[in-house]
Chain A
Amino acid sequence: MRELLWHAWLIARKDLRLEFRSRTALASAFVFTALVLVVFEHGRDPTAVPTIDLAPSILWVTFSFAAMLGLNRAFQAELENQALDGLLLAPISRTSLFWGKFGANLVFVALVQIVGVLLFILFFNVPVWRVWLPFLLVCALATVGFIAVGTLFSAMVVKTRFAELMLPVLLLPFLLPPLTAAVAVTVKLFAARPLSESAGWLRLLAGYDLAFVSLTTLLFPATVTE
C-alpha cells in the first residue's frame, strides 16, 4: 500500500511540476473562471433575482466548467512521444497511475476553486468567509467523486475523435448528483443555516465519492494498454 501511494505521489508530482513549469492550463483555467463569473453577472437581471439566491448556482457551474478544462489536459500530455506507453511499461501499478493522475487533477481543480471563490467574493459580495469551514467540506465532497469519474473518462477520450467534445458529453450526466447536492448545501450555508440541516445531501455526496472513487479505481486498468 505504501509503495502504491508513493508511486501515485510520484506521478502526481510529475504532472504538477509539468503544469507549474508551463502554467498554460492553470493560467487559462483562472482566466476562464474569471470570465465565466463576469458573463454570469452580466447575463442576469440584478433587480429580478437577488445575488444571494443565484450565487450558489453561479459558483458551482463555474467550478464545473473550469474542472472540465483541467480534466481534458490530464492525459493529453501523455500522448506526445508515447509518454503513456512509457508510464505503462514502468514498474508501477495501474492503480498508482490512476491515483497519481486523480491527485494531480484534484490539486489543479482545488487551485481553480480557490481563485474562483476569491473572485466570487469580490464580484458578488457574498460573505463566504463566515462559513468557510463547512464550505470547504462541501467543496471537497462535491469535487472528489466527480474528478475521479472525469480522470477515468479523460484517459479514454484522448484516444477518440473530438476528444474535447466527448468529455463533456460523457461527463456532464455524472455531474448532476454532486452539483445538485453542492448547490443545495451552499444555498443553506449562505443563508446561515446550520450544516446539520443538509445531512441528507452530505450523505449523498459522501456515498457518491465512495462509490465512484472505488469504481473508477477498479475500472481504470481496462482503459489503458501498452
Chain B
Amino acid sequence: MTLAQRGRWTTIGALFLLAGIYVRALRYTPVEVHQGLAQKIFYLHVPAAWSAMLSMGFVGLASILFLMLKDARYDRFAAASAEVGTVFCCVMLTTGPLWARPVWGTWWTWDARLTLTLMLFFLFIGYQVLRGAVTDPSLRPRYAAVVGICGLILLPFIHLSVYLFRTLHPMPIVLKPSAPSLPAPMLVTLLLSFGVFTLLYVGFVMQRYALGEGATDA
C-alpha cells in the first residue's frame, strides 16, 4: 500500500471517528448550564486549535531539521504540515466566532488567544505565499525553513504580548497546574476529540506529503 493510500484510509477512519465524536458530544455528553448547546462547539474548536498548533510545531521542527540535514523530505513534510495547519486554523477561526456570538455577545474580540490564532493563520499563509513566490526552486526550501523557524519562535512572544492585556477567553480548564475542572463526561469527549483530530492531522499530512513526493520542484 502506498503512502497516499495509507493516508487516505487514515483520514477515512478519522472522519468516521469524528462522526462518533459528534454523536457522543450531542447525545451522551451533558449540556453545560451557562452556555447551553453553544458549548458543544468546544469539542471541535479546541481540538482544531490543538491540531493547528501541532502543525506549526512540526513546521518549525522540520524546518530546523531541513537546515541541519539538507534532506528534502523534511521540507516536504513542513510544506504538508503548513497546508494542513491552515485548514485547522480555518476550522478554529470559524467555530470560535460561532461560539462567541451567543456566549460573549460578539463575533470577535481582541483577546489573547484569538489574536494568537489569527497571527498563526497569517504565519501559515505567509509561509505558503513565500513558497509560491520564490522563483528559484533550489532556494524555496531554505527560505521556507527560515520563515518556519522564525514563526515558531514568534508564537510565544505574541502569546505573552497579548496575554498582558485583559482576556475574555475562558481560563484553562484541562492543562493547568491543578486537576482538570471539567466534568468527567465532558473531559472524556474532549480527550477523544483531541485523539481524532490528531489522527485527522496525520491522515491529511500523509496524503499531502505523498502528493509532494510526486510533484516536481519547479
Contact = CB atoms under 8 A, between A and B. Distances in A.
A45 B162 CA distance: 27
B154 A204 contact: no
A170 interface: yes
Contact of A173 (B126, B136, B142): B126
Interface in A104-159: 149, 152-153, 156-157, 159
B143 A156 contact: yes
Interface in A160-188: 160-162, 166, 169-170, 172-174, 176-177, 180-181, 184
A219 interface: yes
A119 to B, nearest CB: 27
Contacts of B133: 157, 160-162, 166
Contacts of B157: 177, 204, 207-208, 211
Interface size class of A (residues with CB under 8 A): 20 to 34
A170 B126 contact: yes
A172 B122 contact: yes
Contact of A177 (B125, B146, B151, B160): B160
B164 interface: yes
B150 A219 contact: yes
Interface in B4-39: none
Contacts of A90: none
B143 A166 contact: no
Contacts, number: 89
B168 interface: no
A222 interface: yes
A225 B129 contact: no
A181 B157 CA distance: 11
B161 A225 contact: no
Contacts of B146: 152, 156, 219, 222-223
Given A160-B134, A201-B164, A174 B67 contact: no
B216 interface: no
Interface in B56-83: 67
Given A180-B161, A215-B153, A222 B119 contact: no
A176 B123 CA distance: 12
A170 B164 CA distance: 24
Contacts of A169: 122, 125-126, 129
Interface in B118-163: 119, 122-123, 125-126, 129-130, 133-136, 139, 142-143, 145-147, 149-151, 153-154, 157-158, 160-162
Given A215-B149, A223-B146, A156 B130 contact: yes
A160 B139 CA distance: 10
Contacts of A153: 147
B161 to A, nearest CB: 4
Contacts of B136: 159
Contacts of B164: 180, 184, 200-201, 204
A147 to B, nearest CB: 14
A176 B115 CA distance: 10
Given A153-B147, A156-B143, A177-B154, 4 more contacts: A173-B122, A204-B160, A211-B153, A223-B142
Interface of B: 67, 115, 119, 122-123, 125-126, 129-130, 133-136, 139, 142-143, 145-147, 149-151, 153-154, 157-158, 160-162, 164
